[in-house]
Structure 1
Amino acid sequence: MGSAAREGLCVTHINVLDPGASPLDYYGFELRRLREAAGLTQRQLGDILNYTGSLVGQIETARKVPTVEFSERADAALVTGGLLSRLVELVLRSQLPSWFQQVAELQARATEIYSFEMGMVPGLLQTKAYARAVLGVIDQADLDDRTAVRLARQRIFEKDEPPLFWVVLSEAALYQEIGGPEVMREQLTHLLSFQENPRINIQVLPFSAGGHAGMTGSFDIYRFESDPAIVYTEGYGSAHPTANPVTVKDCSLRYDHLQAAALSLRESAELIRRVTEERYGDQLA
């Protein structure tokens, strides 16, 4: 089948696309409208953006999730005033599991986030390879899209006023080899890159701490400018946010104790560096 015929199929599909069906459909509808207004075929736009015309067609027909990079390039090429870059935020959030969408909104609104993690690096600090390995343990379907969606949540740190993010990370997370030595080396090196960022603070809770206030599991605390604080815990395929004052008070106290039991920021960085060198074979400068 020739390229014209293939594009004809895309046009047939897009004609019945309902822009009100979802943020992804609306994005595709707008991309097609803007492309046609510029007098470009899918292949021509793809050439300009350094993507394939097929990918442009898949995004226009809501069969492929656009990335932030694609949106920024399309905005520049089609002179949209940043429309697609604004829309892609909604698209990526809508692609999160339904049970997690509320949590992503809370993270985007929070002025302070306090996270305790038992077994792995939290999603807001994961590298692409690490996130892909975590998400692909059971389910390999749409892995590229799901990884991009997870990483897009990290854009909250690019805001003019990013949240204060404080993490207490169990030492076990440094040794749980997710994705292999190279992936772990990259991930732990990524954690060390935040040493000079006063808004992203990482403490390690060492094995030597013994029993601790977080033995019952990981949790997050979200604080806001004017709304009540929310505690978030997670189960298999379910999210459990609560603003119950008793729960918030209890978890806040637990977090204080976890921070007190954890290594200092400097000592935590030294431990992360040592594990990276000794376990994953990277001699950092």
Structure 2
Amino acid sequence: MPQRRVVTGRSQEPRQRFAEELRLLRAERGVSLRELADELGWDASNFGKMESGRTLGSPEVVEALDQFYGTPALLLALWELAVGDPSQFKEQYRRYMRLEAEAVSLWQYSVSLPPGLLQTPGFVREALTAGGLKGEELEQQVAARAGRQGVLEGDDPPPFRVILSEAVLRNSLRDQQSWREQLEHLATVAERPNVALHVLPFGTGLHGLVNTDTMFLRLAEGRTVVYVENDVRGELVEESGRVEHLHRTYDAVRDLALPPAESRTVILRMLEELPCEPST
């Protein structure tokens, strides 16, 4: 592991310390920005901007750099200090993101928005802008969401079963083209062999997850953890009794939902109902 450096002078400022650490670690490894980009799969200019302090990058990029340099969690900790808002990166959610990347199968119920793993960039941007994000912070979070979606890609992606409340398909974006792209993406993803997408139509009555976004992660060692979230808080649930109760509740909701083929037909029908794109 690279020798730790004394924090003095300019490196006492979190953003500068983060950029300085990136430059020094790359120099110690003896690689160019291009070689770093080839190794990790991100654009070299992005790494250059991070090392100059012009951008902080996304947590996924920073975690990849920690792994490449052999500095477990060091760069991520510096990144969080540089971002300056620890409330966005609570330990439970950071741990959930790590577990999500390791999961061998995933199940989700979404109350009002498409799950993060299925959101298009246009949807992410409008949703985060509505939440008050802008500028560099907005770009970081858009990039972070895109990075997470790699979980469902690759040669052997994990199975993903998702139940969408019909409200998800009715909460359209202001930008009609972005909304069309989001619905098209859901319809396309629904055809992937590793994805089972269900729509829970209006009128099915109340159920145990009515106000709670829920994601189940089955891990390689066989246990399952659950992340539950509402408008106020999120919680990582690991206690086996609570996990089992939530799983039974999820299964009951799935029994109320439409099967995948009918669900995709519902999405395609909604696409047909959208206004035609203006001619150019």
| TM bin (shorter chain) | 0.7 to 0.9
**Range that drifts further, 103-112 or 159-168:** 159-168
Per the TM alignment, residue 247 of structure 1 is displaced from its structure 2 partner at its CA by: 1.4
Q: 1:104 — aligned with what?
A: 97
3-state SS of paired residue (2:146): helix
3-state SS of paired residue (2:50): helix
User: How has the CA–CA distance of structure 1 residues 30 and 234 changed in structure 2, closer, same or farther, with 3 Å as cutoff?
Assistant: same
Which of the two has higher C-alpha Rg? 1
Q: 1:178 — aligned with what?
A: 173
Q: Are the counterparts in 2 of residues 65 and 92 from structure 1 also a CA contact under 8 Å?
A: no
Q: Are the counterparts in 2 of residues 113 and 222 from structure 1 also a CA contact under 8 Å?
A: yes
Q: 2:197 — aligned with what?
A: 202
Return the match for 1:161 from 156, 162, 166: 156
Partner deviation per Cα, 1:13-56 (whole Å, 9 max, x = no partner):
x984899x987764444456678x6599xxxxxxxx795xxx76
Q: Are the counterparts in 2 of residues 17 and 25 from structure 1 also a CA contact under 8 Å?
A: no
2:49 equivalent to 1:61? no
What is the CA–CA distance in structure 1 between the aligned matches of 2:252 and 2:33, rounded to whole Å?
Answer: 62
Q: Are the counterparts in 2 of residues 130 and 179 from structure 1 also a CA contact under 8 Å?
A: no
Partner deviation per Cα, 1:1-24 (whole Å, 9 max, x = no partner):
xxxxxxxxxxxxx984899x9877
What is the CA–CA distance in structure 2 between the aligned matches of 1:272 and 1:178, rounded to whole Å?
Answer: 15
User: How has the CA–CA distance of structure 1 residues 234 and 212 changed in structure 2, closer, same or farther, with 3 Å as cutoff?
Assistant: closer
Once the two structures are aligned, what percentage of the paired residues are identical?
A: 26
User: How has the CA–CA distance of structure 1 residues 208 and 136 changed in structure 2, closer, same or farther, with 3 Å as cutoff?
Assistant: same
What is the CA–CA distance in structure 2 between the aligned matches of 1:84 and 1:135, rounded to whole Å?
Answer: 27
Return the match for 2:112 from 107, 114, 119: 119
What is the CA–CA distance in structure 2 between the aligned matches of 1:85 and 1:277, rounded to whole Å?
Answer: 46
Per the TM alignment, residue 213 of structure 1 is displaced from its structure 2 partner at its CA by: 3.7
Per the TM alignment, residue 228 of structure 1 is displaced from its structure 2 partner at its CA by: 2.3
* Amino acid across the alignment from 2:132: D
User: How has the CA–CA distance of structure 1 residues 277 and 30 changed in structure 2, closer, same or farther, with 3 Å as cutoff?
Assistant: farther
What is the CA–CA distance in structure 1 between the aligned matches of 2:17 and 2:107, rounded to whole Å?
Answer: 32
User: How has the CA–CA distance of structure 1 residues 262 and 27 changed in structure 2, closer, same or farther, with 3 Å as cutoff?
Assistant: farther
Q: 1:130 — aligned with what?
A: 123
What is the CA–CA distance in structure 1 between the aligned matches of 2:216 and 2:19, rounded to whole Å?
Answer: 30
**Range that drifts further, 273-282 or 161-170:** 273-282
User: How has the CA–CA distance of structure 1 residues 180 and 38 changed in structure 2, closer, same or farther, with 3 Å as cutoff?
Assistant: closer
3-state SS of paired residue (1:177): coil
User: How has the CA–CA distance of structure 1 residues 225 and 56 changed in structure 2, closer, same or farther, with 3 Å as cutoff?
Assistant: closer
Return the match for 1:211 from 186, 189, 206: 206
Per the TM alignment, residue 233 of structure 1 is displaced from its structure 2 partner at its CA by: 0.9
User: How has the CA–CA distance of structure 1 residues 113 and 233 changed in structure 2, closer, same or farther, with 3 Å as cutoff?
Assistant: same
Return the match for 1:189 from 176, 184, 192: 184
3-state SS of paired residue (1:207): coil
3-state SS of paired residue (2:189): coil
Partner deviation per Cα, 1:150-185 (whole Å, 9 max, x = no partner):
110111123443221110001111110234221111
* Amino acid across the alignment from 1:195: A
**Range that drifts further, 220-229 or 117-126:** 220-229
Structure 2 gap ranges (5+): 1-8, 35-42, 81-85
Matches within 5 A, 1:259-274: 259-274=254-269
* Amino acid across the alignment from 1:58: K
What is the CA–CA distance in structure 2 between the aligned matches of 1:235 and 1:246, rounded to whole Å?
Answer: 21
Q: 1:253 — aligned with what?
A: 248
Structure 1 gap ranges (5+): 1-13, 41-48, 72-81
* Amino acid across the alignment from 2:241: V
Partner deviation per Cα, 1:92-113 (whole Å, 9 max, x = no partner):
8966931221111111111111
Partner deviation per Cα, 1:243-282 (whole Å, 9 max, x = no partner):
1222111111111111111111110000001112203546
TM-score by length of 1: 0.71
What is the CA–CA distance in structure 2 between the aligned matches of 1:209 and 1:39, rounded to whole Å?
Answer: 54
What is the CA–CA distance in structure 1 between the aligned matches of 2:261 and 2:186, rounded to whole Å?
Answer: 12
